[in-house]
């Protein structure tokens, strides 16, 4: 069969498959998105009802993670539902249970005002503590460019974005449904300098 005839047949077959599949599948196929990749993301719910005064910082920290990783997605838990990440405000130093937390399991994040009183950025604190819940340990001492360097980067550091290595580690931790069923580590990390 000549190449031109083969290409015409392949194009016609593709058009027929998309027409039979329907507009939603055709739009997904045309945009190049993989519905399998979208379905593979692990959704984790967080409850910040006990974190008065930290709402904006939590929302910014969640947005930072949701923007930078695709294998896990953080959403606010509906009132009365169980959340995998429970976030509370405390008077001590920030601390969190080391994950990676899995659906149906639970970790705790304590956003401590002692760090804020000493000049640390609230959004960086929230994003850093969420990073612990997603399985990242501290990388102290470290530069401001490392979100998980925490307080060792100093009070002038306001970076709330995970770097490439941190993003890669979280992507790997939530890479498949099989790993999503593994237990969380469960150690509490206190982020005092």
The set of catalytic residues is 129
Reduce the DSSP state of residue 53 to 3 states and report it.
coil
Burial class (CB in 10 A: 0-12, 13-18, 19+), 23: exposed
**DSSP letter, residue 31:** H
**What DSSP character marks residue 174?**
T
> How many angstroms separate the CA atoms of 133 and 124, rounded?
14
Q: How far apart are CA 182 and CA 100, in angstroms?
A: 9
* Beta strand 107-112 pairing with 188-190: unpaired
Take residue 118 and report the two structure tokens written for it. Answer: 């000493």
Q: Are 111 and 94 in contact (CB under 8 A)?
A: yes
How many C-beta neighbours within 10 Å does residue 61 have? 29
Residue 54 tokens, joined: 């930290």
Tokens 């993989």 belong to residue: 34
């Amino acid at each position: 069969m000549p190449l031109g005839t083969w290409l015409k047949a392949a194009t016609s077959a593709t058009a027929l498959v998309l027409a039979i599949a329907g507009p939603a599948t055709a739009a997904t196929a045309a945009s190049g998105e993989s519905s399998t990749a979208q379905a593979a993301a692990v959704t984790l719910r967080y409850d910040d009802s006990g974190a008065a005064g930290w709402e904006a910082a939590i929302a910014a920290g969640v947005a930072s993670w949701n923007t930078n990783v695709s294998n896990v997605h953080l959403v606010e838990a509906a009132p009365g539902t169980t959340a995998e990440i429970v976030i509370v405000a405390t008077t001590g130093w920030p601390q969190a249970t080391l994950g990676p937390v899995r659906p149906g399991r639970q970790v705790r994040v304590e956003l401590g005002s002692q760090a804020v009183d000493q000049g640390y950025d609230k959004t960086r604190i929230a994003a850093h503590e969420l990073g612990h819940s997603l399985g990242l340990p501290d990388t102290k001492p470290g530069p401001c460019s490392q979100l998980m360097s925490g307080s060792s980067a100093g009070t002038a550091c306001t970076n709330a974005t995970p770097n490439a290595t941190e993003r890669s580690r979280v992507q790997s931790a939530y890479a498949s449904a099989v790993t999503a069923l593994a237990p969380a580590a469960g150690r509490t990390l206190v982020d005092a300098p």
